[in-house]
Amino acid sequence: MDSSLHLSEEEKRIIEFDSLAAQEDAEKIEATFMDMLNEYLDTHYEIQNIHSLFVPADGSCLYHAILVSYQSKFEGFQLELNHYEMRKRVSTYLLQHIDDDNHLVRFQNFFPLVLPQGILESRSELRNR
């Protein structure tokens, strides 16, 4: 193998340092963004206790957010679930109710905001979409 592709110890240290610094910068940026978002929510919305929270960006952020939401709704009550179990339960529920159209009726109230003016869709068209 070509020796020019191997990094020196000094180059490895520089890359490692840069990687750690980038991670620290990303965490600072995220914290600053979170602070700014919470300030915006406090300023522009009169709803009490509305604020953003960090959830891991691991592909299960929706399920982490659901868990955090439940915990905040029930004053910190710790659910006996983790994000894996929540994903499983939500998926199972959706599969069991795949033919349930009740949510489409509620969604129809938002048609003017979603569909171009004058376009109507049947329930089956809406479900397919």
More confident residue, 99 or 4: 99
Is residue 35 within 8 A of residue 27, CB to CB? The reply is no
Cβ-in-10-Å burial (0-12, 13-18, 19+) of 46 comes to: exposed
The set of residues, in sequence order, having a beta carbon less than 8 Å from that of 104 and lying 6+ positions away, is 123, 126, 127
- pTM, whole model, 2 decimals? 0.48
Reported as a pLDDT band with limits 50, 70 and 90, residue 114 is low
Cβ-in-10-Å burial (0-12, 13-18, 19+) of 23 comes to: exposed
| Tens digit of each residue's pLDDT (9 = 90 or more) over 51-82 | 777 788 888 888 888 888 877 777 766 677 88
More confident residue, 93 or 114: 93
The set of residues, in sequence order, having a beta carbon less than 8 Å from that of 123 and lying 6+ positions away, is 101, 104
Q: What is the pLDDT of residue 1?
A: 47
